[in-house]
Structure 1
Amino acid sequence: MNNYEKFFQLHHQEKPFIIANAWNVKSAQIIENNGYDAVATSSGAIANSLGYEDGEKIPFSELFYIVQRIKSCTSIPLSVDLETGYANDLTKLNDNIQKLIDIGVVGINLEDAQGEEIYLKKLNSIKNYLTKNNQALFINARTDGFLQKLDSPFERILKRAKLYEDAGADGLFVTAVQDAALIKEITSSVSLPVNVVGVPKLSSIETLSNCGVKRISMAVFLYKKTYNQLENVVRDINTEQSLAPLF
């Protein structure tokens, strides 16, 4: 079984799998060494770590360099947060997809922040490209109805889930949902395996599992927690005028 097949299977097992989001080689290696079945990148974490704002402010070439380094130093399946694709031109978008496949990436998150019409054009283009070239890539369709505070977000998500599934999406990533009952309603209403981010109000893996979630992400939270700890250490060194906090 290759890494793509392993990654696909993880979304269809009885219990949800937890995927940690890395931003550099070291964080990805720590994730792998602690028994995680797959690793994903966080666009926000990578951008912030390099001094960029989130939202595709980082050039794709710089993102790709980080992804390439992570992939070359880890062996578990790697999925990439591709935001809206880092391109509006469909040929350029497919070029980006090919670059990721060439280095062994098995999945992407592709978000619909630009609206479902543009999203479907991009999704259809990617799927047609993959089919034409006999290649596989797990496409996790991220839908931001709640995050963007759109009208009737629940109904919009169900509509988009069907459109995206028909266009070839492999999973549905629903952002900014913090109510267990609502998540359960979503998972019971769509056919695609559903991915959510663990949040303070919904941090229990058992609860999310009971809601029918198949994939649980950490998004940028792992990155933030790591650097909050770093900030505490360097602040304490300066405050205490001692290097003891290092040890």
Structure 2
Amino acid sequence: MNTSFHALHHGDLPLLLPNAWDFASGAALAAAGFAAIGTTSLGVAAANGLPDAAGLARDETVALARRLVRLPCPVTVDIEAGFSADPEEVGDLVAELAEVGIAGVNLEDGRGDHLADPGAQAALVRAVKRRAPEVFLNARTDTYWLDVDASVPATLERLRRYVDAGADGVFVPGLAGEQDIRAVTAAVPVPVNLLHRPGLGLDRLAELGVRRVSTGSLLFRAALQATVTTAVAVREGGPLPAGIPGYAEVDALSR
């Protein structure tokens, strides 16, 4: 399955990766025909009453991964910054995920309001690839996301170090301008992942050299909005949103 996940990054269009936060959301997305499923660290953390990107949701992330491998498609897991600064501990985590059948992980260099030292981050990448070489490691840099060194040259300097350390793909959330996107994809020899942005469809992103597009926390945030909107409609006697699945349909997702 891991080999097939690697291959999904080399199709005619970028791999569209929807991000789940629990088993039901993952199963519903798989049933809708998506070729692979990712997780959203914000969704996993917030659903468990924890802040995102604080390194607190390791157990919840692993528990969800163990459930999601039941899905009939590859699963990649957002492990934030690895839940440790120790390369061996991060390598052990990804090896554990690989053992249960996870096809990929996303590893970020953001550390709150600053970026990790690129050498230290490259050491995490090397440790992961040493312990779990079959796992697709998507190395994320938060230069644009945190607006720290948000330029193509600074971003490429980090990405090249992560690729040299063994990263299978790179992720630059917040990268948006077509000129900058093309500059990054042209300079990096591995698949480039971006966050979905309205107005840039898969066809155009393919022309710009992008190989993967993630929804990030979008689906989780949309689900929260839909939940509150529906509850308010019940309270105020308004019409319910269309297309709400029935009890049996949802119950069947876990069967």
Equivalent residue, structure 2, for 1:48:
46
2:167 is equivalent to residue 169 of structure 1: yes
Root-mean-square deviation over aligned CA pairs: 1.7
TM-score, normalization by structure 1? 0.90
* Superposition map of 1:1-247 within 5 A: 3-72=1-70, 74-113=71-110, 114-130=116-132, 135-151=133-149, 153-200=151-198, 202-240=199-237, 245=240
Q: What is the one-letter code of the residue matched to 1:140?
A: N
Question: How many residues align structurally?
Answer: 237
Give, in angstroms, the shift of residue 128 of structure 1: 2.4
Q: What is the one-letter code of the residue matched to 1:245?
A: L
1: CA distance between counterparts of 2:139 and 2:205?
19
2: CA distance between counterparts of 1:151 and 1:22?
30
2: CA distance between counterparts of 1:141 and 1:59?
19
1: CA distance between counterparts of 2:39 and 2:28?
13
Give, in angstroms, the shift of residue 11 of structure 1: 1.0
Percent identity, aligned pairs only, is 27
Q: Name the SS for the 1:55 alignment partner.
A: coil
2:56, 2:83 within 8 Å by CA — same for their partners in 1?
no
Give, in angstroms, the shift of residue 185 of structure 1: 1.8
Q: What is the one-letter code of the residue matched to 2:157?
A: K
Q: What is the one-letter code of the residue matched to 1:45?
A: G
Q: Name the SS for the 1:182 alignment partner.
A: helix
Q: 1:115 to 1:148 in 2, by over 3 A?
A: farther
Q: Name the SS for the 1:11 alignment partner.
A: helix
Give, in angstroms, the shift of residue 57 of structure 1: 4.5
Q: Name the SS for the 1:121 alignment partner.
A: helix
Unmatched 5+ stretches in structure 2: 111-115, 245-255
Unmatched 5+ stretches in structure 1: none
Q: Name the SS for the 1:245 alignment partner.
A: coil
Give, in angstroms, the shift of residue 88 of structure 1: 1.4
Q: Name the SS for the 1:108 alignment partner.
A: strand
Q: What is the one-letter code of the residue matched to 2:236?
A: T
1: CA distance between counterparts of 2:233 and 2:11?
45
Give, in angstroms, the shift of residue 181 of structure 1: 2.4
CA deviations on 1:31-60 (whole Å, 9 max, x unpaired) are: 111111100001111111111111134331
1:47, 1:57 within 8 Å by CA — same for their partners in 2?
no
1:180, 1:207 within 8 Å by CA — same for their partners in 2?
no
1: CA distance between counterparts of 2:216 and 2:150?
25
Q: Name the SS for the 2:102 alignment partner.
A: coil
